Amino acid sequence: MSTLIRNARVLTLDPSDHEYERADILIEGDTIAAIGPDLAGKPGGRTIDASGLLAMPGLVNGHLHGSSNFYKGAFDPMPLEVSMPFEGTPLTTDEGAARFYYLRTLLGCVEMLKLGVTAVHDDHYHLPWPTTASIDGVMQAYVDGGMRATVTLDQHNVPESEKTPFLSELLPDALRQRIDSVPLISGQAMADLYADTIRRWHGAAGGRIGVAVSCSALQRVTPEYMATLSELSRKHDLAFDIHLLETKVQRVLGEERYGRSLVRQLEHLGLLDERVLAIHCVWTDEEDIEAIARAGCTVAHNTVSNLRIGSGIMPFRLIRDHGVPFCLGTDEACLNDSASVWNVMHVTGLIHTLTETDDRHWPRALELLRAATSGGARGMRAPRPFGVLAPGQAADLILVDLDSLAFTPLNDLRRQLVFCENGADIVLVMVAGREVVREGKLLTLDEAELRREVRALLPEHQRVMAEAKTAAMELEPHYREVYRRSMARDVGMNRRALPVSSKP
């Protein structure tokens, strides 16, 4: 099947930032075959008139926890370490788990597609641990929704009290024993699940679906399992998701446990390489950033979630000046109540004006657009190339109406995409050459039926959430004390805004 998109304004976002005032895009199957003016369509192919529309690459959500898709608006903003005990456990029967994970994943998939997000890197955690049924539920949701997705199995396998500094000494013995007695899946069992998942799902749906590995974070898994994941990443050329120095608590943890930062501990272990997606990196110093740059990692910048939980502001320009590639992520719905990459671009373009006095170092629209497209594709290490509009790339694109308030008057296309557009002007979304959204309507499934079925799950979900909240309330004072002690520690840097003073 061939498709010819005619008369579009085309923003390729390729390395030379090539733009066409008017051009056609010829798509053969799931691949862009040619871009240029006055292309000839193929017999029997379809034609899309894109006069007055902008064609650009679909956005990429470079870091998401789809496991949290039911939690939007569920919690007040609170620090990460205080919030983590509050998430509950879904249905545990194989049949129930598969449907639960399927619907929860599909809900986020639909939201992203309608916002022009054509690909996602989903660091998906399964509670209490993954099963074949829950994994298949997640993967099938992305297949059916029509999205491009790279998905991990984000699984902790050390006792809860070991993940956070000071916690073991703060908890009463009985409470510590209770939380540390929760059964954990072994590293070997996880390795077996990964092998099966890679065999069955990596490259599925014509290359739309990929697998990555995830330890969540260095401090949340055993050293043996960490090494197993790194070997899997090398063997299959998969992205390796690692949350790094998201919070000051994690900076303190590195000092307390290893006598060095978590980044430098990973380097010391030989586990930093070009496949690593270094997530957050808020509390990194220049030595950390140099290590990340040497290794060739990609950094996932989650600006909105960092603000919602008060983690701080990533040293954006310092990281960029070291040549580190980066992508943008929305993170999870309990830390960012929207899957809008447009919003993340917008906030990223604003927040770093507070950390650099020289405006020449502030984020520029083009680097943010690239982070939200090809940067995300790089971090995913997907089986198919995508993220720019060029021959040979996967046909993942969106058409945006330029006859709208966001672009009237049209002064600068790139700046107005970052600072004016919010996804409302998208008229068509295409993934792998297939239309999945047209004029705001999802074409791959019945969205109204999906919403109905999700709402039907709400009573059971709320019951589980209430049980989790009751259990978490007993832990909360101790996690707050961990946070207080860590915030009081001098770690030689500051990544938070200072309290506003009324004095000049």
pLDDT per position as a tens digit, 237-273: 999 999 999 999 999 999 999 999 999 999 999 999 9
What CATH number is attached to the domain comprising 80? 3.20.20.140
pLDDT per position as a tens digit, 177-229: 999 998 899 999 999 999 999 999 999 999 999 999 999 999 999 999 999 99
CA distances in angstroms from 381 to 238, 387, 414, listed in the order given: 6, 11, 26
CB 269 within 8 A of CB 225: no
Is residue 462 domain-resident?
no
Is residue 21 domain-resident?
no
d(CA 127, CA 87): 9
Is residue 160 domain-resident?
yes
| Residue 233 belongs to domain spanning | 58-386
pLDDT per position as a tens digit, 454-478: 999 888 888 888 888 888 889 999 9
Q: What pLDDT was estimated at residue 467?
A: 83
Pairing state between β 59-64 and 31-36: unpaired
Is residue 291 domain-resident?
yes
Say which DSSP state 304 is in: H
What is the overall mean pLDDT for the chain? 94
Is residue 415 domain-resident?
no
Name the one residue in this structure whose structure tokens are 């997000």. 117
Is residue 425 domain-resident?
no
Of the pLDDT bands very low, low, confident and very high (cuts 50, 70, 90), residue 92 is very low
Is residue 442 domain-resident?
no
Helix (H, G, I), strand (E, B) or coil at 27: strand
pLDDT per position as a tens digit, 263-322: 999 999 999 999 999 999 999 999 999 999 999 999 999 999 999 999 999 999 999 999
Looking at 237-325, list the stretches that DSSP marks H as alpha helix, in order from N- to C-terminal side. Answer: 248-257, 262-268, 286-295, 303-308, 316-321
In sequence order, what are the beta bridge partners of 280? 244
Q: What whole-number percentage of the chain has pLDDT above 90?
A: 88
Kindly report the three-state secondary structure assignment for every residue of 142-208.
HHHHCCEEEEEEECCCCCHHHCCCCHHHHCCHHHHHHHHCCCCCCHHHHHHHHHHHHHHHCCHHHHC
Question: pTM (2 decimals)?
Answer: 0.96
d(CA 219, CA 205): 34
Q: What pLDDT was estimated at residue 203?
A: 96
Per the structure, how many domains does the chain have?
1
Is residue 149 domain-resident?
yes
Name the one residue in this structure whose structure tokens are 């749906």. 205
Kindly report the three-state secondary structure assignment for every residue of 78-116.
CCHHHHHHHCCCCCCCHHHHHHHHHHHHHHHHHHHHHCC
